[in-house]
């Protein structure tokens, strides 16, 4: 009888990181107005702004970057015009006056309705450099800067913006990524993407050869080498992982680099929010944020109405080191409050955006959002 293996495989020693996760973890939230037409004229400028945010986030070990979708001024005007156009019909069969809102398709096809020739919609050209206020593009670029070059093609293969990296790929590598200046841990650990082995074939009698369903687990990882790296154990397919090269296993980024983003990500985790409430309801920390700090920026006139609206916000928030998860929310107050008002139904008991903040971090006036992120993180970092 063969002797059973009772001893676990001996672990090979690996390099220990010198970086450490900060006591207080910070998330940052930037509105999509950061790449409005007024601030970014083309794809190159949009890419440059995303690069600036990515650098600030990695310098100060930000756990999460949230991008809030806020309509541009032109989109706000379009929405207002649509609301104003709801009153569309006068008159009824009984001779009395009737005001009707929101025609149904059936109403529109009535003979009494005046038909107008509809102009064909111009398709969005995703290859164009003009990407005004494209929130998903901005979020994609932020994720691009956290992706090793050898994984870009695989990670973004099905992304609609995969052709938008022509300027991003020319920029220098960010020097503060988790594995950089960190006791040469990159010799023992590497980022990868799990990939399936060739799909096996089966032959049945009197039937054509058919392929089995794609494998859901694998031992193979793309780490940028000529051949896939082979693990000791099977893991799910198509997953971003951190690989222990010596022990041929998957480890946490925290173990490898001493740092980790929210949702156990390598570097910062990128999150897109379509509305204001989802900033908080879809927080990537299970316990939520311990506090939310507002940073006024993208405000070049410092108008009286925004000053008044912010009077109730505490101007001396407690930012002493603790075990908390603090969200820094950036932007022009009018844009933030507009987003709040459009989503007010999901925030019962709250009258305005200022009530969502535990404090306001003072910074110089008239600062752009991308500059405000670096200034603010420098002020709060301990």
Would you say residue 325 has pLDDT above 80? Answer: yes
pTM for the full model? 0.81
What pLDDT is stored for residue 199 in this prediction?
Answer: 56
Q: Which of 77, 64, 132 shows the shortest CA–CA distance to 273? A: 64
Tokens for 345? 């139904």
What are the structural domains, with CATH classification, of the chain?
25-75+129-178+259-380 (3.40.1280.10), 179-200+211-257 (2.40.50)
Q: Tell me which of 84-88, 184-188, 343-347 is least confident.
A: 84-88
Which of 316, 309, 356 shows the shortest CA–CA distance to 332? 309
Q: What is the pLDDT of residues 192-219, one digit of tens each?
A: 999 997 655 555 555 554 444 567 999 9
pLDDT given at position 132: 44
pLDDT for 69: 96
Digit-coded pLDDT (tens) for 272-314: 999 999 999 999 999 999 999 999 999 998 777 778 888 889 9
Q: Where are the alpha helices (DSSP H) in 114-252?
A: 135-144, 149-155
Tell me what pLDDT residue 212 has: 47
Integer CA distances (angstroms), 55 to 51, 167, 178, 309, 370, in order: 6, 16, 12, 32, 10
> For 224-268, how does the pLDDT look when each residue is reduced to its tens digit (9 = 90+)?
999 999 999 999 999 999 999 999 999 999 999 999 999 999 999
In terms of pLDDT, which residue wins out, 84 or 29? 29
Q: Is residue 382 predicted with pLDDT exceeding 80?
A: no
């Amino acid at each position: 009888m063969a002797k059973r293996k009772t001893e676990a495989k001996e672990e090979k020693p690996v390099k220990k990181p010198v970086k450490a996760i900060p006591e207080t973890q910070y998330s940052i939230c930037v509105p999509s107005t950061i790449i409005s037409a007024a601030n970014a004229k083309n794809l190159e400028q949009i890419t440059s702004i995303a690069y600036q945010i990515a650098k600030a986030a990695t310098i100060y070990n930000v756990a999460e970057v949230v991008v809030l979708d806020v309509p541009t001024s032109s989109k706000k005007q379009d929405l207002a015009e649509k609301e104003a156009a709801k009153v569309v019909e006068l008159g009824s069969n009984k001779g009395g006056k009737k005001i009707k809102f929101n025609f149904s398709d059936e109403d529109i096809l009535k003979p009494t309705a005046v038909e107008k020739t509809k102009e064909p919609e111009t398709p969005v050209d995703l290859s164009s450099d003009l990407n005004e206020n494209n929130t998903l593009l901005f979020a994609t670029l932020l994720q691009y800067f956290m992706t090793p070059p050898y994984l870009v093609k695989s990670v973004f293969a099905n992304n609609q913006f995969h052709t938008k990296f022509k300027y991003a790929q020319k920029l220098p590598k960010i020097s503060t990524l988790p594995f950089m200046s960190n006791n040469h841990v990159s010799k023992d650990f590497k980022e990868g993407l799990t990939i399936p082995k060739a799909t096996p074939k089966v032959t049945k009698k009197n039937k054509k050869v058919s392929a089995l369903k794609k494998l859901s687990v694998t031992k193979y990882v793309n780490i940028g080498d000529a051949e896939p790296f082979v693990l000791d154990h099977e893991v799910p397919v198509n997953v971003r992982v951190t690989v222990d090269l010596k022990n041929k296993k998957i480890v946490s980024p925290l173990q490898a680099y001493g740092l980790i983003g929210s949702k156990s990500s390598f570097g910062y985790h990128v999150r897109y929010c379509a509305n204001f409430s989802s900033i908080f309801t879809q927080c990537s920390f299970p316990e939520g944020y311990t506090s939310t700090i507002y940073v006024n920026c993208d405000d070049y006139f410092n108008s009286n109405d925004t000053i008044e609206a912010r009077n109730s916000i505490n101007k001396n928030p407690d930012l002493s080191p603790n075990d908390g998860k603090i969200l820094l929310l950036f932007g022009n107050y009018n844009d933030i409050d507009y987003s709040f008002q459009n989503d007010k139904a999901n925030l019962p008991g709250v009258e305005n955006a200022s009530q969502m903040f535990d404090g306001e971090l003072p910074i110089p006036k008239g600062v752009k959002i991308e500059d405000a992120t670096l200034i603010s993180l420098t002020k709060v970092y301990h």
